[in-house]
């Protein structure tokens, strides 16, 4: 059997933790369009999510982070918000959102919602008025409107490029240009303006009053722009969300915004949190967002960007832990999300390597993020026909990969039926035929399935409180290409990242393994290629 799980043993080893809930939480990202469709229109929605919450409880996660579900023209799949105090009709109503939060809490799940403060939709009331009321109007100063360069203002105000490709400026009919680091339908707010700051503090309160447990803050590093919006000059093309020092990313002025948000979070009981999506040049810069009076967590994109290589992994794990220690924040770990190629495909070793990577991630101290469908071993869907694609990066043809739709294909729940149980209708992106075998139904109860591996891993993690706790791993001796470390409370993890079996001495009894393993009576084990083993030692 692939997965050995001795929960009783793990339970006896459990150690209570007195730290905040988020410090070692496993947080599951729901992408609302693609999770479950309650009304059969082919698009996921809040009623669909509500029905599936027991699945998430049984999976064993602590919290759910929902990508945006607010009123939006969907130019960037909801990351273009027109009104934070309304739910897009495609996803349901505020009443549904209230029900979702209540249901989740009843099941013991926390709820984190997405906030997109860098920009609004071009259909946001403020922006529509700004366009209408013309140059010099009060509403224009809530965004970045500027005259152009050149004799007749026909050139953009500076040389910045949009993350999705093309210039970061679009010219309004009256001749002024407005800034959009992403699509033209996503104009950037001017965070120097007090009304913008007030509005977001009010939005925070609105959702905190609704009962949410935290916010994932989109492009948290982008809000403040360098004074005077200077040209970048000679600079290599930036990648999606930028990981370089740029006049519109990771400016020091951004931190005072998060300090003011922290005060609001702390007005509420129940440990409400802020999670930064901050692409910064180094993990040390990321730590700045997590000083004790700022946010609670940040995504660890350096970890996500690391290949399947023992030396590189060990280095990034140490760097990440070292960077967070001085600010007292937990490190986070993430392999997949709605913006990147799913890790099963990205790491290049199929489901076997993906499973090994997942068990490594879940053995590390701190908080871990799971993107919907990775627990099913879903691959990236390649070769989607152009006519079904909706990613604006694809249309502007110069985004991070231009193919973010491939990780957003709706979840398969059942082996049969229209859209594999996603809903009673079709699905907004077509699901590959092989997904029948990857459905929740097909995998449930099969001890060799990836779904059961995740369920087991999360059960061990939950029972064994030491696993997510702490700020260090104790590395132990291992052959080349193998990572071996111990965690408090009699737990060890071994990862063979090579393509060959490696013979090691078993450090203890197998708790869980990502692939079948046989330990010889004298404790020798040929650790198979691309395999992670959790041990009770
Ligand atoms: C989100 C993307 C989105 C972009 C612009 C990112 O951080 O995760 O999906 O396209 O921000 O809002």
Say what the alpha-carbon torsion angle 353, 342, 473, 352 is, to the nearest 10 degrees.
-10
Q: Is the CB of 75 under 6 A from ligand 1?
A: no
Position in ligand 1 atom list of the atom nearest CA 76:
10
Give the pLDDT confidence of 8-49 residue by residue, as tens digits.
Answer: 444 333 333 445 999 999 999 999 999 999 999 999 999 999
Q: Is the pLDDT of residue 228 over 70?
A: yes
Q: Of 3.40.50.300, 3.40.50.150, 3.40.50.1110, 3.90.400.10, which CATH number belongs to 125-179?
A: 3.90.400.10
CA distance 216 to 261: 12
**In CATH, which of 2.30.110.10, 2.60.40.1180, 3.30.390.50, 3.40.50.2000 is domain 472-536?**
2.60.40.1180
Q: Ligand 1, from 84, 182, 390: best to mutate by most atoms within 8 Å of Cβ? A: 182
CATH topology of domain 17-119+194-226+237-376+388-409+455-462: TIM Barrel (3.20.20)
* Ligand 1 centroid – CA 227 distance (Å): 24
Residue closest by Cα to atom 3 of ligand 1 = 79
Give yes or no for residue 130 having a pLDDT over 90: yes
State the average pLDDT for the chain: 93
Measured in angstroms, how far is the CA atom of residue 140 from the centroid of ligand 1? Answer: 24
Return d(Cα 361, Cα 422) in angstroms, integer. 28
Q: Look-up: residue for tokens 């071993």?
A: 377
| Residue 401 in this model has a pLDDT that exceeds 70 | no
Mean of pLDDT values over 57-74: 98
Instruction: Give the pLDDT confidence of 501-519 residue by residue, as tens digits.
Output: 999 999 999 999 999 999 9
Percent over 70 (pLDDT), the chain: 93
β-partners of residue 119 are 188
Give catalytic residue positions.
218, 267
CB 113 within 8 A of CB 215: yes
Hey, where are the domains in the chain? 17-119+194-226+237-376+388-409+455-462, 125-179, 472-536
Above 80 in pLDDT, residue 244? no
> What's the mean pLDDT in 433-451?
97
pLDDT tens-place string over residues 333-385: 999 999 999 999 999 999 999 999 999 999 999 999 999 999 999 999 998 98
451 touches ligand 1 (CB under 6 Å):
no
Q: Is 391 in the pocket of ligand 1 (CB under 6 A)?
A: no
Ligand 1 site-directed mutation target among 70, 120, 184, 219, most atoms within 8 Å of CB: 219
> Which regions of 425-477 does DSSP assign to beta strands (E)?
474-475
Q: What is the pLDDT of residues 315-331, one digit of tens each?
A: 999 999 999 999 999 99
Residue of minimum CA distance from atom 9 in ligand 1: 339
* Ligand 1: nearest atom to the Cα of 164: 10
Nearest to 115 by CA among 32, 228, 33, 217: 217
Which pair of tokens denotes residue 330? 């937990």
Residue 452, pLDDT > 60, answer: yes
**Whole-angstrom distance, CA of residue 109 vs CA of residue 242:** 33
Atom of ligand 1 nearest to the CA of 277: 7
Say if strands 110-115 and 214-217 run parallel, antiparallel, or are unpaired: parallel
Average pLDDT over residues 124-139: 97
Q: Strands, E, within 79-238: which ranges?
A: 83-87, 110-115, 145-146, 169-171, 177-179, 214-217
User: What residues does 524 pair with on adjacent strands?
Assistant: 505
The pLDDT of residue 397 is above 80: no
Buried b (16+ CB within 10 A) or exposed e, 499-527: eeebebebbbebbbbbbebebeeeeebeb
Q: Ligand 1 centroid vs 218 CA: distance in angstroms?
A: 6
Ligand 1 atom 4: the closest Cα is on which residue?
79
Ligand 1 centre from 74 Cα, in Å? 12
Helix (H, G, I), strand (E, B) or coil at 368: strand
The answer to whether the CB of 294 is under 6 A from ligand 1 is no
């Amino acid at each position: 059997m692939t997965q050995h799980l001795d929960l009783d043993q793990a339970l006896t080893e459990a150690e209570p933790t007195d730290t905040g809930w988020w410090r070692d939480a496993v947080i599951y990202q729901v992408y609302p369009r693609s999770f479950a469709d309650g009304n059969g229109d082919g698009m996921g929605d809040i009623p669909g999510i509500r029905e599936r919450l027991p699945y998430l409880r049984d999976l064993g996660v602590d919290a759910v982070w929902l990508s945006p579900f607010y009123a939006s023209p969907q130019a960037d799949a909801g990351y273009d918000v027109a009104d934070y105090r309304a739910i897009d009709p495609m996803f349901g109503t505020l009443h549904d959102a209230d029900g979702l939060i209540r249901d989740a809490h009843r099941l013991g799940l926390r709820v984190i919602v997405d906030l997109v403060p860098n920009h609004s939709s071009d259909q946001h009331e403020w922006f529509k008025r700004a366009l209408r009321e013309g140059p010099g109007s009060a509403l224009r100063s809530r965004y970045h409107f500027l005259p152009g360069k050149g004799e007749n203002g026909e050139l953009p105000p500076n040389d910045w490029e949009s993350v999705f490709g093309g210039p970061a400026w679009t010219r309004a009919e009256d001749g002024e240009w407005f800034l959009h680091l992403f699509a033209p339908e996503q104009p950037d707010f001017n965070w120097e303006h007090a009304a913008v700051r007030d509005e977001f503090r009010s939005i925070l309160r609105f959702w905190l009053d609704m009962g949410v447990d935290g916010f994932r803050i989109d492009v948290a590093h982008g809000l403040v722009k360098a004074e005077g919006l200077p040209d970048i000059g000679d600079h290599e093309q930036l990648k999606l969300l930028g990981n370089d020092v740029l006049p519109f990313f990771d400016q020091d002025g951004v931190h005072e915004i998060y300090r003011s948000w922290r005060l609001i979070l702390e007005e509420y009981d129940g440990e409400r949190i802020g999670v930064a999506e901050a692409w910064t040049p180094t993990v040390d810069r990321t730590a700045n967002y997590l000083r004790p009076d700022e946010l609670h967590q940040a995504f660890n994109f350096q970890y996500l960007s690391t290949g399947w290589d023992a030396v590189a992994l060990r280095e990034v794990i140490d760097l990440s832990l070292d960077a967070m220690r001085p600010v007292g924040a937990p490190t986070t770990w993430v392999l997949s999300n709605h913006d990147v190629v799913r890790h099963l495909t990205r790491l290049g070793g199929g489901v076997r390597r993906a499973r090994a990577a997942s068990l490594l991630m879940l053995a590390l101290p701190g908080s871990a993020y799971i993107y919907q469908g990775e627990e099913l071993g879903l691959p990236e869907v390649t070769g989607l026909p152009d006519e079904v694609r909706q990613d604006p990066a694809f249309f502007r043809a110069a985004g991070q990969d231009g193919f973010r739709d491939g990780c957003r294909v709706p979840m398969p729940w059942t082996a049969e039926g229209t859209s594999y149980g996603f809903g009673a209708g079709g699905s907004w992106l077509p699901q590959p035929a092989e997904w029948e075998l990857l459905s929740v139904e097909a995998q449930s109860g099969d001890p060799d399935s990836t779904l059961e591996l995740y369920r087991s891993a999360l059960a061990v993690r939950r029972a064994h409180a030491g696993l997510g706790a702490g700020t260090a791993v104790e590395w132990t001796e291992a052959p080349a290409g193998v990572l071996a470390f111990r965690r408090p409370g009699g737990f060890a993890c071994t990862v063979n990242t090579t393509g060959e079996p490696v013979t090691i001495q078993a450090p203890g009894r197998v708790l869980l393994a990502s692939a079948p393993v046989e330990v010889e009576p004298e404790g020798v084990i040929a650790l198979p290629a691309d395999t992670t083993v959790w041990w009770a030692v």
